[in-house]
Chain A
Amino acid sequence: MIRTPWRLVPRTLPSPRMRFLAPVIAVALTVIFGCIVFASLGLSPLAAMRVFMIEPLSSVNGVSELLLKASPMCLIALGLAVGYRANVWNIGAEGQMYVGGIFASGLAIYFHERGGAWLLPAMVIAGAIGGAVWASIPAVLKTRCHANEILVSLMLTYVADLLVKYLVYGPWQDPAANNFPLTVSFSDNALFPLFASFGGDWLEGTRVNVSLIITLVALPVAWLFMQRTFAGYQLTVAGLAPSAARYAGFSSPAAIWMALLIGGAAAGIAGVMEVAGPLGQLNDRWTPGYGFTAIIVATLGRLHPFGIALASLLMALVYLGGEAVQISLQLPKAISLVFQGLLLMLLLGCDVMVNYRIERRRPAPAAAVEIK
Chain B
Amino acid sequence: MTLDSLTPLFASAVAAAIPLLLAALGELITERSGVLNLGVEGMMLMGGVTAFIVVAHGGGLTLATIAACCAGMIAALMFAFVTLTLQASQVAAGLALAILGSGVSAFLGRGYVGNPAKVSFSELPIPLLSKLPIVGPALFSMNALGYLAVILTVATTWFLYRTKSGLILRSVGESPVVAQSLGLQVIRLRYLATLFGGLMAGLAGCYYAVAQFKMWQEGLTSGNGWIALALVVFASWRPVRLMLGALLFGGVTAFGLYLQAVGVQVSAFALASLPYIATVVVLAVISRDQRALRRNAPASLGQSFFGM
Residues on A facing B (Cβ under 8 Å): 1, 7-8, 10, 89, 91, 137, 141, 144-148, 150-152, 154-156, 158-159, 162-163, 165-166, 169-170, 292, 295-296, 299, 332, 334-342, 344-345, 348-349, 351-352, 355-356, 372
Select A155's contact among B82, B99, B223, beta carbons within 8 Å.
B223
Assembly CA distance A295 to B290 (angstroms): 28
Interface core residue of A91, A154, A165 (most chain B CB under 10 Å)? A154
Assembly CA distance A352 to B84 (angstroms): 11
Asked if B89 lies at the interface with its beta carbon under 8 angstroms from chain A, I say: yes
> B87 to chain A: which residues have CB within 8 Å?
8, 352, 355-356
- Tell whether, in the assembled complex, residue B223 and residue A341 are in contact, meaning their CB atoms are under 8 Å apart: no
> A137 to chain B: which residues have CB within 8 Å?
280
Shortest Cβ distance from residue B178 to the other chain A in the assembled complex, whole angstroms: 16
> B276 to chain A: which residues have CB within 8 Å?
155-156, 158-159
Stretch at the interface among B20-28, B146-154, B266-274: B266-274
> B110 to chain A: which residues have CB within 8 Å?
332, 334
- Between-chain CB contacts (< 8 Å), 16 pairs: A1-B187, A146-B288, A147-B287, A152-B280, A154-B226, A155-B280, A158-B222, A295-B95, A334-B107, A335-B107, A338-B100, A341-B102, A344-B95, A349-B82, A351-B88, A352-B87
Select A89's contact among B42, B91, B101, B183, beta carbons within 8 Å.
B91
- Tell whether, in the assembled complex, residue A91 and residue B95 are in contact, meaning their CB atoms are under 8 Å apart: yes
Asked if B284 lies at the interface with its beta carbon under 8 angstroms from chain A, I say: yes
> B285 to chain A: which residues have CB within 8 Å?
145
- Tell whether, in the assembled complex, residue B269 and residue A166 are in contact, meaning their CB atoms are under 8 Å apart: yes
> B272 to chain A: which residues have CB within 8 Å?
162
Interchain Cβ contacts within 8 Å, total number: 144
Asked if B96 lies at the interface with its beta carbon under 8 angstroms from chain A, I say: yes
Assembly CA distance A183 to B78 (angstroms): 43
Asked if B240 lies at the interface with its beta carbon under 8 angstroms from chain A, I say: no
Q: Which chain A residue has the least Cβ–Cβ distance from B233?
A: A148
Assembly CA distance A148 to B233 (angstroms): 10
Asked if B106 lies at the interface with its beta carbon under 8 angstroms from chain A, I say: yes
Select A334's contact among B97, B218, B290, beta carbons within 8 Å.
B218
Assembly CA distance A144 to B267 (angstroms): 31
Known contacts A10-B306, A155-B226, A348-B93; decide if A341 and B280 are in contact (CB<8 Å). Answer: no
Shortest Cβ distance from residue A41 to the other chain B in the assembled complex, whole angstroms: 10
Which residues in chain B, 250-294, are within 8 Å of chain A measured between CB atoms? 267, 269-270, 272-273, 276-277, 279-280, 283-285, 287-288, 290, 293
Shortest Cβ distance from residue B19 to the other chain A in the assembled complex, whole angstroms: 16
Residues on B facing A (Cβ under 8 Å): 38, 42, 78, 81-82, 86-89, 91-93, 95-97, 99-104, 106-107, 110, 183, 185, 187-188, 218, 222-223, 226-227, 229-230, 233, 267, 269-270, 272-273, 276-277, 279-280, 283-285, 287-288, 290, 293, 306, 308
Shortest Cβ distance from residue B100 to the other chain A in the assembled complex, whole angstroms: 3
Given contacts A141-B287, A166-B267, A337-B106, 13 further A-B contacts (CB under 8 A): A8-B308, A151-B230, A156-B276, A156-B280, A158-B223, A166-B269, A332-B110, A334-B110, A338-B104, A340-B103, A348-B96, A349-B82, A356-B87
Assembly CA distance A154 to B283 (angstroms): 13
> A89 to chain B: which residues have CB within 8 Å?
91
- Tell whether, in the assembled complex, residue B269 and residue A148 are in contact, meaning their CB atoms are under 8 Å apart: no
Assembly CA distance A339 to B290 (angstroms): 39
Shortest Cβ distance from residue A152 to the other chain B in the assembled complex, whole angstroms: 5
Assembly CA distance A165 to B222 (angstroms): 15
Q: Interface residues of A: mostly helix, strand, loop or mixed? A: helix
Select B100's contact among A1, A342, A351, beta carbons within 8 Å.
A342
Interface core residue of B89, B187, B280, B308 (most chain A CB under 10 Å)? B280
> B218 to chain A: which residues have CB within 8 Å?
334
Q: Which chain A residue has the least Cβ–Cβ distance from B222?
A: A158
Shortest Cβ distance from residue A44 to the other chain B in the assembled complex, whole angstroms: 20
- Tell whether, in the assembled complex, residue B280 and residue A344 are in contact, meaning their CB atoms are under 8 Å apart: no
> A169 to chain B: which residues have CB within 8 Å?
269
- Tell whether, in the assembled complex, residue B226 and residue A337 are in contact, meaning their CB atoms are under 8 Å apart: no
Assembly CA distance A128 to B242 (angstroms): 39
> A152 to chain B: which residues have CB within 8 Å?
280, 283-284
Select B38's contact among A147, A150, A166, A352, beta carbons within 8 Å.
A150
- Tell whether, in the assembled complex, residue B96 and residue A345 are in contact, meaning their CB atoms are under 8 Å apart: yes
10 tightest CB-CB pairs across the interface, nearest first?
A341-B100, A337-B103, A334-B106, A348-B88, A166-B269, A341-B99, A344-B96, A352-B86, A338-B103, A332-B110
> B97 to chain A: which residues have CB within 8 Å?
341, 345
Interface core residue of B102, B267, B283 (most chain A CB under 10 Å)? B283
- Tell whether, in the assembled complex, residue A166 and residue B270 are in contact, meaning their CB atoms are under 8 Å apart: yes
Shortest Cβ distance from residue A347 to the other chain B in the assembled complex, whole angstroms: 8
- Tell whether, in the assembled complex, residue A155 and residue B279 are in contact, meaning their CB atoms are under 8 Å apart: yes
- Tell whether, in the assembled complex, residue B283 and residue A341 are in contact, meaning their CB atoms are under 8 Å apart: no
Assembly CA distance A144 to B289 (angstroms): 11
Assembly CA distance A154 to B275 (angstroms): 13
Assembly CA distance A268 to B288 (angstroms): 29
Shortest Cβ distance from residue A139 to the other chain B in the assembled complex, whole angstroms: 12
Shortest Cβ distance from residue B293 to the other chain A in the assembled complex, whole angstroms: 8
> A1 to chain B: which residues have CB within 8 Å?
185, 187-188
Assembly CA distance A156 to B226 (angstroms): 12
Assembly CA distance A290 to B92 (angstroms): 17
> A349 to chain B: which residues have CB within 8 Å?
81-82, 86, 88
Shortest Cβ distance from residue A120 to the other chain B in the assembled complex, whole angstroms: 29
> B96 to chain A: which residues have CB within 8 Å?
341, 344-345, 348
Q: Which chain B residue has the least Cβ–Cβ distance from A356?
A: B87
- Tell whether, in the assembled complex, residue A146 and residue B99 are in contact, meaning their CB atoms are under 8 Å apart: no
Shortest Cβ distance from residue B265 to the other chain A in the assembled complex, whole angstroms: 12
Assembly CA distance A163 to B268 (angstroms): 11
Q: Which chain B residue has the least Cβ–Cβ distance from A353?
A: B86
Assembly CA distance A145 to B110 (angstroms): 42
